[in-house]
Amino acid sequence: MSAATISLKSYGNFVHSMTCDVSDPIALHDYIETAHNALGGLDILVNNPSGFGRTDDEAGWKMSIDIDLMASVRGCWSAVPLIENSGGGSIIHISSISGLTQSQRTPPYGAVKAAINHYTMTQALDLAPKPIRVNAIAPGSIYFEGGLWHQAQAKNPELYENILSGFPAVVLAHRRK
């Protein structure tokens, strides 16, 4: 994160940068309040937490629900009044194609992303009068060195190729520097 902070500051931007354990409700609330105070208001929240609960067992489901779903919900609980007091703005939830259709990913991941999609639609209706726009994006799979797809390719090439063959373009997006 410090490299991104330095890069943004080099353009003359004011940058507020910090980290937070999103699984801790108090820490998450304090994080959002601190950002609000440092930035002089809040007009956008981008929710992208993930515990990557990969296993179809108690631990995998708990991780996915507590982090992927509830950290997003709690973030909204803290941010919505601040965004409303700033005159409105946007909430963007990062979802996944796994929340839109069946996938070979783990059941907890797809289920909580489907829940995020439903939460987004409900929030969009509820918050429109405030005026707060609420949307979700499902960017699809992105391959990068050290990322989950890179790890999957190294650890289980057969599964990786099987999943890849299910994508229409039969390729993964690659991030650009």
Distance of CA 94 to the CA centre of its chain: 4
The rounded distance, in Å, linking the Cα atoms of 130 and 19 is 28
Task: Return the CA Rg of the chain.
Answer: 18
Is 109 designated active site?
yes
Angle at 90 between CA 5 and CA 48, to 5 degrees: 55
Alpha helical stretches, state H, the chain: 2-9, 25-39, 58-63, 70-85, 107-127, 148-155, 157-165
Write out the DSSP string of 47-59: E-------SSSHH
SS3 at position 143: strand
Query: Are 7 and 53 a contacting pair, CB within 8 Å?
Result: no
Among 109, 119, 143, 160, which one carries the catalytic annotation? 109
Q: Tokens 């009044």 identify what position? A: 81
Would you please indicate which residues are annotated as catalytic (active-site) residues? 109
